[in-house]
Amino acid sequence: MSRAAALRLLAAPASGALLAAAFPPLDLGPLALVALVPLLLAVEDVRPLRAAALGYLAGLTFFGLHLLWIAQFLSWTGAVAWLAWGALSAIQAVAFAAFFALVPATRPLGAWRLAVLPAAWATLELLRAYHPLGGFPWGLLAVSQHDNGPLLPLARVVGGFGLAAAIVAVNLAVALWGRALLGGARGRPRRARRAALVGLPLLVAGLLGARLAVPGPPPASGPPLDVVVVQAGLRGGHGLAQGQTTEQVFANHVRHTEALAASPDPPDLVVWGEGAADADPLTSPDRRAAVAEAAAAARAPILLGATTRLDATHRATEGLLFTADGRLADRYQKRRLVPFGEFVPFGSVLGRLVPATREGVPYDKVPGKRLEPLPIDGVRVGPLICWESAYPSDARQLTRDGAGVLLVMTNNASFGTGAGPRQHLAAGQLRAVETGRTIVQAAVTGISAVIGPTGRTSFETGLYQDTVIRVPAPPRAGTTPYVRYGRGIEAALIGITAGGIVLAGLLWRRRRAAADRAVADRVLAPLRSEP
């Protein structure tokens, strides 16, 4: 193997590892601005197929590290845990392969690649976030900026996918600058000096200018909603049974809520996270009575998560809103179910081939169809359950439909005790910036928090901390550019990608035709010169 080939091979896992370090648990967000540079430099002059193979290796490295918590969480299943982790990483890595194949494939576009390649990355993220089987919106590039990253405010204008395109554009600019320097070292010093003296300052100025030009979040439109989050999950069991709701967990939520009777001022809302009730309060008289007594003691409505029985064979994950006098006022049925957590894809086949897939998921839940805000104490609250907060379109739709506050109900026992819960909270931080809304995250087992419209968190709890937090959630009526135009922005990214790929293909075809004509002319020239 040549030295150049070895360096290319090393560049792939290096880029993947650097990108993984930009996300929780290491959370070195600024690394995302340069993480792709090693591999961008390595694949510039190779064939698309080889670039795809190197991109796939980078993707395997990234997702293998980013999703390692899945294997740790499912370690009780033995080899199945590593099979699930490896299969998911392998599937998601295809997007990296496709992107890096496009790097050399779009060379005929010249400088236009600075627009086409970032749009292509965003398009590939859109595809894997929503497809297949509902998609997998994890490890999206924009989430790396959740902790006040340099480009985070851009999400308010272009959303997470547009922010991902901006991050890729920065990586491409740095790679171009690096190539200019390398070119200078090989005998072109003037070009290298021009890149060093002009290129990098322009890049820094552009980043600072973009951050400063973004409008701020909408102002508060009324007094804060006074929200109490009850976090009372218990650690126990393994896998999906870890943190599973039991009678004791339900009793803990009731106890903490009844303790609010001692407060001179009742809250506007009490929230119990996803699955806080161990039995369906709508069909269990004693659970219904306990909820009513807790609501009466708190003098406030309760929004609680429960698995409800729709009929003899169908169940659903729901948020149930009970009034202070114990009446069911409204409900929200989770629409985006977690594969292998709430349903098993192709369950009749997989359940037989891999029985472990059915061990924690004995039945498939039914997805809901309605997504609209719930009116609570004069404020329209947008409900999301668990990983629905990872889908930008849901939070955007709720905000467009008038939600002044967003609320995420979750049971993060499903994410284990590794980086999963922190990655989930990071997705919520990005949603808060995109929508310009305060988000309250209520987790049975943690992390619970309130997220401001700038992405800053406060009142954070620890995993399996038995506690209550009382948080202000100011409603907002204005909308961000992303909420108003997000669908059009995403359509534009797809259009730029498709147009760029088609144009690159036409230019390659023209080059081949010109090369073929040149060869033909050289072959026929001696014949034409003969008398």
Q: What is the pLDDT of residues 507-529, one digit of tens each?
A: 878 877 776 667 666 766 676 66
**What ranges in 138-271 are assigned the alpha helix state H?**
155-185, 189-194, 200-213, 247-258
Q: Give me the residues paired with residue 230 across strands.
A: 272, 468
Q: Give me the residues paired with residue 469 across strands.
A: 229
CA distance 219 to 241: 42
Average pLDDT, stretch 335-353?
79
Token pair of 492 as six digits: 């534009």
Query: How many Cβ atoms sit within 10 Å of the Cβ of residue 132?
Result: 11
Provide the residue ranges of all domains of the chain, joining segments of one domain with +.
3-215+502-514, 225-335+370-479
Token pair of 406 as six digits: 């967003």
CA distance 240 to 260: 31
Residue 71 CA: distances (Å) to CA of 66, 76, 80: 11, 9, 9
Cβ contact 500:508 at 8 Å: no
Looking at residue 529, its pLDDT comes to 61
Cβ contact 199:177 at 8 Å: yes
Range from 167-181, 217-231, 394-408, 505-519 carrying the lowest mean pLDDT: 505-519
Q: pLDDT at residue 463 above 70?
A: yes
Sign for the CA dihedral angle at 122, 128, 130, 136 comes to negative
The residue ranking higher by pLDDT, 324 or 509, is 324
Cβ contact 503:509 at 8 Å: no
Cβ contact 143:430 at 8 Å: yes
Coil, strand or helix at 448: coil
Confidence of residue 312 (pLDDT cuts 50, 70, 90): confident
CA distance 170 to 115: 11
User: Percentage of the chain surpassing pLDDT 70?
Assistant: 88
Q: pLDDT at residue 192 above 70?
A: no
Token pair of 511 as six digits: 């080059």
Looking at residue 486, its pLDDT comes to 96
CATH of domain 225-335+370-479: 3.60.110.10
Looking at residue 492, its pLDDT comes to 97
Sequence-distant contacts of 388-391: CB under 8 A, at least 24 apart: 388/334, 388/335, 388/336, 389/424, 389/427, 389/428, 389/431, 389/439, 389/441, 390/129, 390/137, 390/138, 390/140, 390/424, 390/427, 391/129, 391/130, 391/135, 391/137, 391/336
CA distance 16 to 38: 10
Cβ contact 332:318 at 8 Å: yes
Average pLDDT, stretch 35-46?
95
Q: What is the pLDDT of residues 428-454, one digit of tens each?
A: 999 999 999 999 999 999 899 999 999
Sequence-distant contacts of 150-154: CB under 8 A, at least 24 apart: 150/29, 150/30, 150/33, 150/207, 150/211, 151/33, 151/207, 151/210, 151/211, 152/430, 152/433, 152/455, 153/211, 153/214, 153/433, 153/454, 154/210, 154/211, 154/214
User: CA angle 512-41-50, nearest 5°?
Assistant: 55
Return mean pLDDT, the chain: 89
Residue with the two structure tokens 């026929």: 524
Which residues have C-beta within 8 Å of that of residue 170, sequence separation ≥ 6?
A: 33, 34, 151, 203, 207
The CB-side HSE value for 471 (13 A sphere, CA atoms) comes to 27
Q: How far apart are the first and last CA of the chain?
A: 52
β-strand pairing of 467-473 with 457-458: unpaired
Token pair of 399 as six digits: 């905000």
